[in-house]
Amino acid sequence: MSIPQPAGTSAIIFDYIWHMTLPVITLTLMGFGGWALYVRNLMVRTMGEDFVLMARARGLTERQVVYGHAFRTILPPIITIMLMSVPGLVSGAVITESVFSLNGVGTFLLAAVSGHDYPSAGAAFYLLGLITVICNFLADVAYGIVDPRVRIEAGNK
């Protein structure tokens, strides 16, 4: 007895999304506790700074103080930790794909390493390194967008 396959493009897409929700949630929640603790500690430290006290003294609402001043200050480290966790998602996919019996980059990397296929393993690690460099570059670019103090201006020496 075979399992009936969905008919139609939208049904196939919905079926694919339905079956990928648990692996995606697993990969996402794996590092969420560390991220939440890191953001909390940054916010607690920033809320005690002088500029936050000054913003409150000017009569700003608590929402304006938190989001307009404190959160904008801690945004660059948050962007860094989020973008630098992308390579960790790929390496975490090795375990997740093994548990959920999926075929992907993680399974390919595991098969290449365990099968002593050094060119394939080297290519997989090269791509992982490339993803790391690209994410680091995107974090640097995002710094200039969220924090005007780190923008590079032409003519400054």
Q: Any idea what DSSP says for residue 149?
A: G
pLDDT at 48: 92
Identify the three-state secondary structure at position 3: coil
Q: Any idea what DSSP says for residue 147?
A: -
Q: What is the mean pLDDT of residues 23-35?
A: 83
User: What percentage of the chain exceeds 90 in pLDDT?
Assistant: 32
Query: How many helices and strands in the chain, by DSSP H and E?
Result: 8, 0
- HSE, side-chain direction, 13 A CA sphere, residue 19: 10
How many Å apart are CA 143 and CA 114, to the nearest integer? 39
Band (32; pLDDT cuts 50, 70, 90): confident
Query: Between these two residues, 88 and 157, which has the higher pLDDT value?
Result: 88
**What token pair was written down for 81?**
């930790």
pLDDT for 155 beyond 60:
no
pLDDT for 42 beyond 80:
yes
Q: Any idea what DSSP says for residue 124?
A: H
pLDDT at 157: 55
pLDDT at 6: 72
pLDDT for 2 beyond 70:
no
Estimate to the nearest angstrom the gap between the alpha carbon of 29 and the chain centroid.
11
Other beta carbons less than 10 A from residue 91's beta carbon:
14
User: What percentage of the chain exceeds 70 in pLDDT?
Assistant: 94
- HSE, side-chain direction, 13 A CA sphere, residue 10: 0
pLDDT at 55: 92
